[in-house]
Structure 1
């Protein structure tokens, strides 16, 4: 299959035109290769992930996070240089579906809403108008649980799908929760929108100290890695369903954050 056909399949779920203005979703590294039989999907285009993908025979790499948010010359022997070297030597293209993937609630970005069986969904930060009963493209979701749950029960459901080893809770914790908001990655800027949408619990990553200190609803910080790792695993499964002539595989990664082990 040609790389352009793979890109078309990616953009059916991750529309490039809807990506944030500051983002650089899309093709990151071009290649001469015109036939792809193996596609690797990963969260971060690190030397470890790209190297593992190439060792497994990947001829196209899809990541969530871009290689860089601002292009620079490869003047240092750093991770950026290492990834470019790996891809150039193997003649393998790299494509990033970053905020272009985040905005589509019907794609893998909506996996937690479907797992929690949320109803009456609202997009926290729309980037396109709604059309009929269809949700607009945009960042973050809020929805009603099928029955009241505790924060611990909700965390348990997430933990059965994604790692929560570094998760923290802040803000007032209600006895039960009936409406949840969430945003994958670093979404604490949407806290006010989640509260305005009626959420009693907001789930995201990278919550800052003063945000947690001033929170008026419960905040579950699952880290930047947790929800997005699962999102990209599900993206790999979706692409495998669409790309019948290509083997799609997921390259797992671990959060760079670890809990402190006290002896």
Structure 2
């Protein structure tokens, strides 16, 4: 498969336009290979991990964390330069799906909410929203129900309708319009004259974390046990007041210490995240569970590898397991 087509699929699943302004999602190192039949997926672009991926024969390596956040000179000794040398000498491509993946609505970054079966969910911190557009046009003949269903089932389409006068109206996300227009043109065998207008409210909030309610209220100890089962952890660092029972849960994978106040304001009984900071813990107005940066995002990338595997025909996708950089050591 051509690498440009592989990158297009990655960008479809982790839209670069959704990334935060401070981020560096996208191509980290542009290779010279034009085709690839093996794509490796992992959390961290460390020399050890990249070496495993390249030895397996990957021509595209997809990581979550970027190789760099700000441009660095190629005289910067250390992990950065080691990885650049590895990738360039192999001819492979290195790509990072960072906040572009973190913020994709319903994407693998929201796996914890699905595992806990949260309901009535909403984004915890909204970065921006996708504004829907309404497109209208007049067709020579009425559209059939089958054709309308084909258009309506496209990603980003909200509704398809036709008036008695023959006017067809399609409401879809703005960023999905080009694909929808192409599908309409293909179905009709011609490109009609479209009339477009933006609607007033964002239809899809794009952002970090989620808050929702459990199917049923759980006692504190029972909730901790359930969280341990879905994350694979036996211990957690907990700060803030422990609730007697848990009903509303907020979470954010990776480093979410800055969202504690938002979680409290959303009425969360607990906030699950990684990389909880000391002063944020001291000032926490709600119970915070530090489940570890690694455990939350390692699972996200495993799920992302599964998505890529299903989207890339004729390409083998392999997830490479990482290891938590933190470990427990006894002083005795």
The TM-score, its normalising length taken from structure 1, stands at: 0.94
Unaligned runs of 5+ in 1: none
Structure 1 residues 1-263: aligned runs within 5 Å: 1-129=1-129, 135-164=204-233, 167-263=236-332
CA distances 1:174-231 after superposition (whole Å, capped 9, x unpaired): 1110010000100111111111111110011111111111211110011211100000
Is the CA contact 1:122–1:135 (under 8 Å) kept in the aligned structure 2?
no
SS in 2 for 1:125: strand
Shift of 1:45: 0.4
Matches of 1:177 and 1:88, distance apart in 2: 50
Offset of 1:127 from its aligned partner?
2.0
Tell me the C-alpha RMSD between the 2 structures.
1.8
Dislocated runs of 4+, deviation >3 Å: 130-135, 150-163
State whether residues 261 and 285 of structure 2, in contact with CA within 8 Å, keep that contact through their aligned partners in structure 1: no
Q: Give CA deviations for 1:131-157 in whole Å, capped at 9, x if unaligned.
A: 689651111100000111234433433
What residue in structure 1 maps to residue 171 of structure 2? none
- TM-score norm. by structure 2 comes to 0.75
Q: 1:262, CA displacement in angstroms?
A: 3.6
Q: Which has the higher strand share?
A: 2
Aligned length: 263
Compared with structure 1, are the counterparts of its residues 248 and 238 closer, same or farther at alpha carbon in structure 2 (3 Å cutoff)?
A: same
In structure 2, stretches of 5+ residues that fail to align are 133-157, 159-201
CA contact (8 A) 1:166 1:257 kept: no
Answer with 1 or 2: which has the greater Rg.
2
Query: What CA distance in whole angstroms lies between the structure 2 residues aligned with 1:70 and 1:166?
Result: 35
